[in-house]
Structure 1
């Protein structure tokens, strides 16, 4: 049975998610429709890219992923269908696949050209659904689009490195449910540029000279519980996706606070890692 996932910035209050699901089931009775997220910040491509990159590979090969973020069809925002790593992605050509395609090459890519057969201004409901269901039935990409060789890249998704490799400039691209702030700097880049040198990570008023692998690494378990006082303390870790994350231990935005609320870290907040001379 085909699997179609949905990642959008629609939220849950409005009828859009239900309408998309209804349209899919109206086309295909036997299909699994899975919500990845509908809480992407409106039009925030980098946030959507982070979410889809770290979710899609958990699904079976051949799964179809609709990404409805900044998806209005215009002359500058074309619609594409891409086969990548044995998965299919249907989205606007707005840079949302940049993170995935930084390491993997697409097997096939087409610019969707069925818009003249559909009359609607809700393209995720109509064009994306029609395309997804066509693929789910075993249809080829070439039937619904013309082959293309490249996709749009956008600034901000990838960090920059100084010419002498003395620093990395990045930014916050995702804030999770706990208020932890995920940067676009991954472990691979950090280690290749840093080469074991000491460093200082700066994000607004936050300064850190150590990166942990787990949240609990900040806890001194040989200290009595009553004297630990670590809840809400800031730390930096490599998260499960391999990205540098600025966090607080056992964070809760409603009680002890979070990296976002306590340190003023928002989407697009600059993050700089300065390395000391070796």
Structure 2
């Protein structure tokens, strides 16, 4: 049974998500449709890339991942289908795949060319669904597109490292459901540049000198419970995806606030890490 995942910025209020699912089932009744997320911020490809990059590998090889974010076709935003890590991705060539495939070379890339045979003003519904169902039936990428050698690259989202190798400037690339702020600085980059040196991480007016391994690692459980600083404690951690994350312990954006609201951090804001000898 084919697995087709959906990641979009459609939300759940409008009919778009339901229409796409219905179109898939009309083409392929046996399809197993899985929602990854429909709450991506509108047109925010870095947020979508983070979600997909950290979820697709949990699915079986051969899964098909349909990405409906910034998907309108234009002369500068063509549609592509990619085989990567034995998975298939269908999306616009808007740079999102360069973020997902930053550490893995694609096996195949085609520029989708079936648009002339499909009338549409909603390409995710009409074009992406047909491509996904074609692949699910065992069809090859070459049938629905022409091979291209590369995908559009986005380099402006990469962290900046200064010439003296003692500073990293990163950006907020994702804010999770708890309001925790995920940066684009990976553990690997931090350790390669830092080489064990002391550091100060500045995010707006808040500074951190320690990065914990988990949320609970920041709590001193050897102290009596009434003496611990728990709820509301600010911390920086390496999250499950091994990126630096700025968080509030047991935060709730709807009540006590979150790292995003309390520190005034939003998508694409900068963070600065300075290392000392």
TM-score range, shorter chain: over 0.9
CA RMSD of aligned residues (A): 0.9
Whether the 8 Å contact between 1:46 and 1:156 is mirrored in structure 2 is no
Counterpart of 1:89 in 2: which secondary structure? strand
Match of 1:56 in 2: 56
Match of 1:272 in 2: 272
Cα distance in 2 for partners of 1:176, 1:167 equals: 26
CA distance in 2 between counterparts of 1:67 and 1:156 reads: 21
Counterpart of 2:87 in structure 1 is 87
Residue 165 of structure 1: how far off its partner (Å) = 1.1
Alpha-carbon deviation of 1:228?
Answer: 1.3
Distance 1:235 1:37 in 2: 27
Is 93-102 or 189-198 further displaced after alignment? 93-102
TM-score (norm 2): 0.98
Query: Is 1:17 aligned with 2:24?
Result: no
Q: Is the 8 A contact 2:10 2:16 kept in 1?
A: yes
Distance 1:191 1:207 in 2: 19
Tell me the equivalent position of 1:32.
Answer: 32
Structure 2 gaps, min length 5? none
Tell me, yes or no, if the aligned pair for 1:98 and 1:157 is still in contact at 8 Å: no
Residue equivalent to 2:181: 181
User: What displacement does 1:99 show?
Assistant: 2.6
Q: Structure 1: which 4+ aligned runs deviate by more than 6 Å? A: none
TM-score, with normalisation over the residues of structure 1?
A: 0.98
Give the SS at the match of 2:131: helix
State the SS of the aligned residue for 1:184: strand
Q: Where in structure 2 are the equivalents of 1:184-223 lying within 5 Å?
A: 184-223=184-223
Residue range with higher mean Cα deviation, 153-162 or 203-212: 153-162
Instruction: Answer with 264-273 or 81-90: which moved more.
Output: 264-273
Distance 2:233 2:117 in 1: 56
